[in-house]
Amino acid sequence: MNKVLKTDICVIGAGSGGLSVAAGAVQMGANVVLVEKGRMGGDCLNTGCVPSKALLAAAHAAENARTANRFGVATGPIEINFAQAIEHVHSVISGIAPHDSVERFEELGCIVIQAEAHFTSPDTLVAGDKTIRAKRFVIATGSRAAVPPIPGLETVPYFTNENIFENRICPEHLIIIGGGPIGLEMAQAHQQLGAKVTIVEMMTILPKDDPDMVSVVRDAIKDSDITLYENSKTREIHPAGDLIRVIIEHDGIEITLEGSHLLLATGRRPNVENLGLEEAGVAFERTGISVDTRLRTSNRKIFAIGDVTGGLQFTHMAGYDAGIVIRNALFRLPAKVDHSAVPWVTYTHPEVAQVGMTEAAARARHGDAIRVVTWDYAENDRARAEDDTTGFIKVITTPKGRILGAGIVGRQAGELIGLWSLAISRKMKIGAIAGMIAPYPTLGELSKRVAGAWYTPGLFSEKTRKIVRFLLRFG
Ligand SMILES: Cc1cc2nc3c(=O)[nH]c(=O)nc-3n(C[C@H](O)[C@H](O)[C@H](O)COP(=O)(O)OP(=O)(O)OC[C@H]3O[C@@H](n4cnc5c(N)ncnc54)[C@H](O)[C@@H]3O)c2cc1C
Ligand SMILES: NC(=O)c1ccc[n+]([C@@H]2O[C@H](COP(=O)([O-])OP(=O)(O)OC[C@H]3O[C@@H](n4cnc5c(N)ncnc54)[C@H](O)[C@@H]3O)[C@@H](O)[C@H]2O)c1
């Protein structure tokens, strides 16, 4: 008979969420069992954030070399070794992997089981030849690429995020279905590394972001050699000799595309299958495991975090969820999730970053009782010096200046959004940002200037002029 392992916390899935719970809980004195069926580090390390940003870094190097001429730097024709770019991707993964490894987690004091786990009852999990009983379980099994029901798809080879970073030959023509963050980041990475790229999106690109910002990204994509079809239905897919034929409907017209490779980037499905969720009494839907604001499932001793809950699918959210679970499970504090200051960034060129409410969300909640201020990169001296003046920052406040949301499209938008995340989470008013001293010349000045713009109508008004003239009478 299996030996039963008894523990305080059992975590299923060693990705961004599961590793954060395990590392935090064990270092705070809990006994922790961590179960992982695949590679330690999950999607983010192996097939998500890390490889995609590493590939983008290689692509940016190519693009910078290609455009260096405008600074008077001649590079001559550039040569791209795609396989070497992929080597760079894998060396970055290998560099980070020890931090997420079995060895490190065992050293921290966790028992790590490398097997697929499933519940057999509300308080029992089986993983390989081990049976685990835990005071609390945490399901952090993540998500996988959703495969849309396109007729003929099964007749051709295709990439998803799971295998594209294994491809060492630059695609001659990469057709990408889906214009969300994965589709756009991979489109630019491959185009800048030498591939011809076509994107087919059934709605509009980046549908979760502010349309004003998205239109700046759309212009950049159209200015590059990427072909973009929005509002287009993919009708069918066939092999065509060595090529892949994709038939789409765009503006009522049938268009036939032929590519050497195909990437599906059409969203995610939560990993809820074969987990024994019914046996555990854990309710779930197609979109993910249902959780309350404390991330408890319908079985109060089982929590679910990260992508498997189908919420905001980002590494930093899986990490944030982990903190909520630790407070609930270890300290018995009724900590609840607060999504009012969640940032996200899409690493296109230009980057798009958002935190808090978009303008549309703020209008839906507050009607016209909001103020919207913007400031252009073209007015920023650092952006001019670096010859990258595309983009703007937009901030949404209440009439009294409480910050509701901020969006940035442009160079380093992801680095700039942190200030606004802090401001919203600390419920700061826009005056705090306007009063900050920003070093010159930095892109950070964009934040100060947009906050200053909030005061411009009042500051340079007839009323202010009258007050100043009155005060000047006294010497
Ligand atoms: C191409 C791409 C780029 C991305 N870029 C970014 C980015 O730039 N920034 C960002 O914030 N987010 C990004 N994301 C999203 C990010 O990767 C996910 O939000 C994050 O990995 C979710 O973490 P998780 O812990 O919920 O799941 P995962 O990291 O997927 O981990 C789940 C783990 O559970 C294991 N598992 C599943 N079922 C079982 C089982 N039954 N038994 C045992 N183990 C099991 C899996 O093997 C996996 O290792 C990107 C995603 C993709 C695909
Ligand atoms: N920079 C980042 O933080 C980053 C990067 C990549 C991924 N991610 C995370 O991973 C998630 C998944 O990314 P994603 O881009 O796959 O998903 P997504 O859901 O964000 O976007 C998928 C896109 O595909 C389109 N689509 C769906 N079915 C289609 C079809 N049959 N034909 C044409 N278009 C279709 C959708 O309209 C949508 O625009 C993201 O939502 C995000 O949470 C984050």
Kindly write down the DSSP assignment for every residue of 30-53, as one continuous string. Answer: --EEEE-SS-TTHHHHHHSHHHHH
Instruction: Look at strands 4-12 and 130-139 and give their pairing.
Output: parallel
- DSSP class per residue in 363-394: HHHHTT--EEEEEEGGG-HHHHHTT---EEEE
Structure tokens at 245: 């034929």
Structure tokens at 18: 């599961």
Characterize 241-276 residue by residue with b for buried, 16 or more Cβ atoms within 10 angstroms of its Cβ, and e for exposed: eebbbbbbeeeeeeeebebbbbbbbbebbbbbeebe
Closest listed residue to residue 121, CA positions, set 133, 109, 139:
133
| Contact criterion met (CB below 8 Å) for 448 and 436 | yes
- CA 375 – CA 454 distance, rounded (Å): 10
183 is in an annotated binding site: yes
- pLDDT number for residue 464: 83
- pLDDT number for residue 456: 87
Structure tokens at 396: 């949404």
Confidence band for 2, pLDDT divided at 50, 70 and 90: low
Residue span of the structural domain in which 22 resides? 3-40+101-144+269-329
Residues 126 and 273 grouped into a single domain: yes
Residue 370 is assigned to a structural domain of this protein: yes
**Does an H or E element contain 78, and which?**
none
pLDDT at 169 over 60: yes
Amino acid at site 118: H
Which of 47, 161, 182 to mutate for ligand 2's pocket (most ligand atoms within 8 Å of CB)? Answer: 182
Residues 217 and 355 grouped into a single domain: no
Residue 57 is assigned to a structural domain of this protein: no
Residues 196 and 244 grouped into a single domain: yes
Tell me how far CA of residue 349 lies from CA of 70, 181, 195, 218, 472, in angstroms: 18, 12, 17, 10, 50
Q: Determine which residue's CA is closest to atom 3 belonging to ligand 1.
A: 48
Residues 317 and 349 grouped into a single domain: no
Residues 178 and 235 grouped into a single domain: yes
Residues 139 and 285 grouped into a single domain: yes
Give the three-class secondary structure for 460: coil
**Distance, CA 179 to ligand 2 centroid (Å)?**
6
In this structure, which ligand is nearest to the CA of 148?
A: 2
Residue 82 is assigned to a structural domain of this protein: no
Confidence band for 29, pLDDT divided at 50, 70 and 90: very high
What share of the chain in percent tops pLDDT 70?
100
Residues 320 and 203 grouped into a single domain: no
**Distance, CA 39 to ligand 2 centroid (Å)?**
23
Residue 70 is assigned to a structural domain of this protein: no
In this structure, which ligand is nearest to the CA of 46?
A: 1
Residues 281 and 411 grouped into a single domain: no
Single residue among 266, 285, 305 that ends a domain in this structure: 266
Residues 184 and 128 grouped into a single domain: no
Closest listed residue to residue 63, CA positions, set 446, 380, 387, 408:
387
- Total number of domains constituting the chain: 3
- For residue 32, the tally of other CB atoms under 10 A from its CB is 25
Single residue among 329, 351, 370 that ends a domain in this structure: 329
Q: Determine which residue's CA is closest to atom 12 belonging to ligand 2.
A: 267
State the complex-level ipTM: 0.98
Residues 282 and 135 grouped into a single domain: yes
The enclosing domain of 394 has a CATH number of 3.30.390.30
Residues 124 and 14 grouped into a single domain: yes
For the segment 436-468, what is each residue's pLDDT rounded down to a tens digit? Answer: 999 999 999 999 999 999 998 877 888 888 888
Name the phi and psi angles at 31, rounded to 5.
-80, 130
For the segment 322-350, what is each residue's pLDDT rounded down to a tens digit? Answer: 999 999 999 999 999 999 999 999 999 99
Residues 210 and 259 grouped into a single domain: yes
The enclosing domain of 129 has a CATH number of 3.50.50.60
- pLDDT number for residue 271: 98
